[in-house]
Structure formats: C-alpha cells, structure tokens
Structure 1
C-alpha cells in the first residue's frame, strides 16, 4: 500500500510515543490520588521485545521518530538497554525520552551512552516547598540536579515542561521563562487540560494569557522550532540562550499538523491523546507471529486518525476512563 503513513486528512504520521510503564515515583496532585492508581500487572505490560517488534513493523510504514514515556520511564528495569535498541533501529537523534527527573542524575550518562540526545523533564515550579506540595514528594533538589547533569553532559535540547495551573504555579511563569537567559533550555508552557467537573476545572490559564505574561520578562521574538511538526509555538527573548514554547491543546489546538501515534504500556495503539477508540496490538502480538497482521492493524488505525480532538464536546474525552498516567505522557 502506497503512502501508508499518510492519514485520511493528508497528514504524514511519522512519530510514535511509547509508554513503557504506568508506574511513577511522584504523586502529582492534579494527576492522581496520593495512594496512586491501580497498576497494570506484569503480564499486562508489553515486554521490550514486543515493543521492538511493533516498532520494526511501524518503521516499515514510515514511523521514524520515537519518544519513550511513562508513567515514569526510568523506574522500569532495563530502560537504558531498551533505549539503546531503539536508537539502533531508528537512529541517534530520533529517540528522545520524557522523565520527571527524579532519577535523571543517576541515569543521565547511561542514557547518553545509549545514544539518547534529547530529553524532556517535567518541572512545574522552581520552589522546593511548592514542588513537594504539587508532587507530594520532596524531590526538587534531585530533579534540579538531574537537569543540571543532563545539561552539562550535552543533551540538547533539554526541554522543561511546565503545566500552568491557576492558583498553583501561574505566579512563576516569568521566573521559569527567565531560565532561558542563563541556560539554553527550551521552557515549554503547557495549557492545563481539565476534564469533567471538580476543583481543577476552574484552573485553566490560556496560552494567550501566558504569552502576555512572558512579555513582562523581555522582548519576545518568534523563534524557529527544531521540529516543525511539534505542538509547541516557540519564542525567544532578545539576548537569551534558550527558547520558550507554548503548547495550547485547548485554546489553539494543533490537530491539523499532528504527526503522532501513542502506544500504551499495555499495548493499545491510540491515534489521539483524547481518543475514545484504541487498537489492541497486544492481542495481535500474542496470538500471531505474522507481522503482516500487525502492520494491517497499525495502518488501519492510522487511516482512522480523527481530524481533530473532541475537547470542546461535552466532557473531555480523555480516554475511555484512562487517566493520563495510563496513556503515556
């Protein structure tokens, strides 16, 4: 089949986000309860060999970029060798990882030696006490040391992902952005995606408001993105070493240029973060050695990728009852 990674809306889909675990060593207050959420059994989680089989098949239809996510990916045993295998398949520079940074200082050199060069770290605050309040863990120093270690080793870009939540950390927008004057980081401000009802539904801060706040820091200039298909719109302050990015899934969605698929830790392929439909690749993996069946399932799902998400329809369809940690960051 020609143009197998072109979806029904003309988008080239070449990027796969792979969740390797639903486990996490933080308990962020906007993500899950303090006691956590029910975890997948060992048998339900894809083995590394199964993931690699999926990637080899996906690569045959044009998937050429991979991001490893969780949960927190660094808590899974064998993650470094797994990353090395991914680099061997898709190439150095085409594999990245998203982490909360708690274990990054420990793993940074090993990840570098495995061929990883790009890394995203979740960091919602620069205040130790607030970090402990948000994550329910007093790990700020560990995370910051991990970020500094990755920076000194040479990871580039080091992207810091900031979920902006009104009344929680929106007073730090300027301070977080100012990091780009001292370090060549990409500080990316992400609109909070509240769904359903409850206290979090009133905590939304729009990207337009974030941009206005950034103008308090300095002259804000449009900047070129390293990845034209990525969700962030980038800016840079005059004289800064790094960049600031705005990711606005709600107020200015980027569906028209979305180039990604998501594989959950339990082997479900999702064509949109907010999809209400999944394709069970694990069932195919474990019932057949015929890669053609796997390929047909991936292509079929890709062709059915929705034109846009349904965030503005009724409630946020975040995932057939799946919390974010069960989908992958």
Structure 2
C-alpha cells in the first residue's frame, strides 16, 4: 500500500468529508447574515460516490473519517452513510461534527451504525446569546442532544467553542466548570479569518492564553493529558474534573506542522489546506482509482507547510488567494 505523504513527509491518514453545504443555522463566524445559496442536489456527492471515494482513500492508508457539513444530520441518508463508511476495510474511526439540533433524534441510530465520536458546536450556554450567535438556534435542542448522546457510550464527545471577543469570551469559566461532572472534551478554538473581513476578524479575535489566565485567576490546577483522536488540540485536565479541555490554535501556534488531514467539499473538490483557495476537482475521478490517486497526490504535492509560510512563499501555491468558500462550504 502506497500511503499518502506530502512534500514535507507528513503522513496523511485522515479525511474530513463534507456531505452537504446546507445548514439550519447561520452562525456569525461561519456564514453571512443573509445566508448562502446552497449547491443544487445534483452538485453534491451522492451516497454511492461518497462510499467509493472512501474506499479509494482506504486503499491509500486513510483510516479515519470525519463527516462534516454544513450540517451533516440534515442529510436523510446520514445514518446509512455512516454505516457504509464504517464497513469499508481499513476504516478504523468514523466521527461527525454537528450543531446538535437533530442529535437527540438521530444519536442512537448513528451509534448503532458504528459512529465512534461526536463533535458538537456549542459556543455559549446562554439561550439568548445562542440564538444571537447562531441567528435563530434553540439551545435546548442542543443540550438535549448532548444529554442523549452522553448515555450512548460514544468513544468521545467534544464540544467546540469558537471564542469571539465580546460575544462569548466571558463564558470561559462556565465551560471549564462544565468539565467537572461531564466527561466531555471542551475545545476552545481561535476565530479564523475565513469568510470574514480582516478588520472584523482583528476586532473579534481572542488568543487562547486567556483560558490559562482564567484557570489561574480561579485557582484551577490543570495538567496536560493525551487524548486519542484526530484533532489538533493541546489537551488538559483540571484536577478533580472528569472531563477535559483542549486548545486549538490555528492562528497563534503551530497548528499546521503536524497536519495529517485532507478536506473534501460537498461538491467533490479536495482542499489540502483549509485557508488557501487552491482546490482540485476529484469527483469525476472517483471511478478511476489511478486518476483519483494522481489528483490526490497533486494536491498533497502543492500543500504548504503552513498557511503563514504560504503567505511569504507564494510560489508554492497555484492559487495565491485565500479561499472563496465560507466555513460551511468547506467542512472545517
């Protein structure tokens, strides 16, 4: 088996696969207020295309798949997609990132289909603030989904919190305290300048050192821990807490150096780097394993060491502009 390496000798064994660009929320960091035009149904990968694509990847050493969106639970066939992906020889871990609104209804079926892990977006515990950040979401549905999922023995449940100055950075302590009795990994994520103006991003960016500052101000003793999984977070556990917290630094730290993931958009493009516009259409190559492999390797050969390096060494980038896609159109 010829495994997938980029020009920096990084092994890639993890695919983030968007199965829809549609979402039932309009989160402020993910989508413009007016929403986005969604792809026509025939432009989105079909279930059979998805399964064949993962079979191709598995033959190249991919063992971990994260299903993303948009909101993946909006697809009526999401349970069957999970079941079929988990049945692919070589696929060891299947996870989903969801906003949690439909999770209470679908968690049991997803677990039975073989889903290993869940990432749930939850940027606040306050109902009015949640409605504001998501532009209309009902936090009670999400909390119910977390409660239902917590009883189903998934390998790990993670809560994703994008910290935004003036919106939810005053709730850091609430999230840390949540890990005292809840066996979840609360992950604080730096706000990224994707789909937002640089001016807006600079005004709303919060560095993650603030999490450590809150711990120290409240006499919370913590220590680094290792968590099995696919994510780029640095993880810690507060003394006496059953859960843990993680920090994801796409801006302030070495987020990219150990990158092992490829991103496939819902309309069938591969993005080797989250930030840059460069992408390659692989949908037409799915039935042809030789051509599929060639296109995947081409994307890897063009992958920069990190997005900051790409800014200064643009000769390594074919398309020298930041991505045109919003986060909901990439899959994160």
Q: Same fold (TM over 0.5)?
A: yes
Aligned structure 1 segments of 4 or more residues deviating by more than 4 angstroms: 90-93
Residue 291 of structure 1: aligned partner: 289
Query: How far 1:43 sits from its partner (Å)?
Result: 1.4
Residue 307 of structure 1: aligned partner: 305
Contact 2:184 2:244 in 1 (8 A): yes
Q: Output the aligned Cα RMSD.
A: 1.9
Query: How far 1:138 sits from its partner (Å)?
Result: 3.9
Secondary structure in structure 2 of the residue aligned to 1:17? strand
> Which sections of structure 1, spanning at least 5 residues, go unmatched?
none
State how far apart, in whole Å, the 2-side matches of 1:318 and 1:99 are. 29
**So what's the TM-score if we normalise by structure 2?**
0.92
**So what's the TM-score if we normalise by structure 1?**
0.92
Secondary structure in structure 2 of the residue aligned to 1:97? strand
State how far apart, in whole Å, the 1-side matches of 2:277 and 2:211 are. 30
Contact 1:129 1:138 in 2 (8 A): no
Alignment of 1:1-329 (within 5 A): 3-89=2-88, 94-194=93-193, 195-217=196-218, 218-227=220-229, 230-285=231-286, 289-310=287-308, 313=311, 319-329=322-332
1:1-21 C-alpha deviation (Å, 9 max, x unpaired): x74312110111000000000
Query: How far 1:208 sits from its partner (Å)?
Result: 1.6
Equivalent residues, number:
322
1:23-80 C-alpha deviation (Å, 9 max, x unpaired): 0011112322333101101111111111211111111111110000000000012000
Secondary structure in structure 1 of the residue aligned to 2:174? helix
Question: In the superposition, relative to structure 1, how do residues 114 and 92 fare at CA in structure 2: closer, same or farther (>3 Å)?
Answer: farther
Contact 1:65 1:90 in 2 (8 A): no
1:137-180 C-alpha deviation (Å, 9 max, x unpaired): 24100000000100011123110000000100000001011111
State how far apart, in whole Å, the 1-side matches of 2:6 and 2:54 are. 18
Query: How far 1:198 sits from its partner (Å)?
Result: 4.0
> Which sections of structure 2, spanning at least 5 residues, go unmatched?
313-319
Secondary structure in structure 1 of the residue aligned to 2:27? coil
Contact 1:273 1:318 in 2 (8 A): no
